[in-house]
Chain A
Amino acid sequence: MTTPGGGGAAAAAPPAQRAPLAGVRRLLGELYARPTSAIGTTLVALFVLLAVIGPWLAPYGPTEQILSDRSQPPGAAHWFGTDRLGRDVFSRVVTGARDIFLLAGGGTAVAVAIGTVAGLVTATLGGWWEEITFRLFDTLLAMPALLLALLLLGTLGPSRSSVLWVIAVAYTPIVARVVRSVVLSVKTREWVAAARMQGETLPWILTREILPSVLPALAVESALRFSYAIFLVASLGFLGVGVQPPNPDWGLMVAEARDYVYLTPWSLIFPAAAISLLVVSVNLAADGLGRALRTETR
């Protein structure tokens, strides 16, 4: 009650024109205010960098076999060692980062795009469209994501684009549900009614009155979906229905190295560690993002 709803604002100088970068800067400030989210954000940034420059960083080609150096332990020549076929594990892990980002990130992006539009429009309109859309989504949600993915990949055939679409199909309903829950609480707000009374059109109401309130929750959900998508890509690779050999997919690498875990443990440990580290950092960053956006909207 004593928070100066009062004099403070009156006395303060008018806020300067909001620079577009000010919001980003404030967000980064919030992310770096806590050690956990700071570590997560930094690691995610490093992984992104790796995905971009990985192929140039790799001393060897990802499928290049150095037959003289098979099953070498980590050392000066091969930092992460080599696998049974003489391929440099470091080069494979570094090059593989790009695929993970393309597939998991791309699939998540498609899911967020379709899920947001579907959730926003149908939840705002209500009625039959909402019923039909969400019953359909519920059907998809009834199946575990991995099972759904196996089913779809069995039909589509394993390929990289199939993996992307599988992620999109598996996560669209989840994103749509999150969007819907926010829309349902926002659409009854009086400012939405006020916009209707000003004769605003539906597209305006959707994008300008309702969407901004959905964005914080959507950002956090997208980050979380991305971390699950990384797992899914890796799992599919591991099961052999996703990215196919000889591509340097992390999950696939773990699967290939599994049989020789006593002979060349390094060829299993490094890709597995990459998966875990990426997933953990994305989760930490998502957690920090949620906290930052909550403080901002308060």
Chain B
Amino acid sequence: MICESLSDRMPAVAKGTEAWDPEEAEHLAWCQDCQAEWAVIAPIALASAAAVDPDVDLDRVASGVLARLGTSRGVLSLNRFSAARRWYRPLAGLAAAAALVLAFASLRPDPIADDVATREPTAIPELDVLFESELELLLASLTPVADEIELLPSGIPRLGDLTDVELELLLETVEG
């Protein structure tokens, strides 16, 4: 918890309005995460102080921040940011899932993508936008059921003999 406490006080200490107490100073002496954060926070706090203190050299502060960001990249870890980690994990999972879904969805061919101009002449160009599975359903809905289903000698077709398309058509008929 002392890490979080230090984080909260870093800006004030950097501006000189407050000071570390002995326990904080000792912690800062050995905690690499806090040292890394201090290396970033302190120049930023100083820069914000520059708004009221024109004597602070902003260019020098900016150079210092950039330099420290460069050297601390490998030291600053997410371990101390427990609150951030609580957000990070589910978000990372969702992002990965979304990326995968989009990647797979992009593999789905566009029904009107590229070969429309070379397709056979048509009386119903509106069909160009449909996928195969949709065309099958449409065809089934246009075809009278009696033409498609071969009746058993008893005159009663078995559901197990029907194709997926025929079952879907039957379901639509039953559901109205």
A binds B: no
B residues engaging A (CB < 8 A)? none
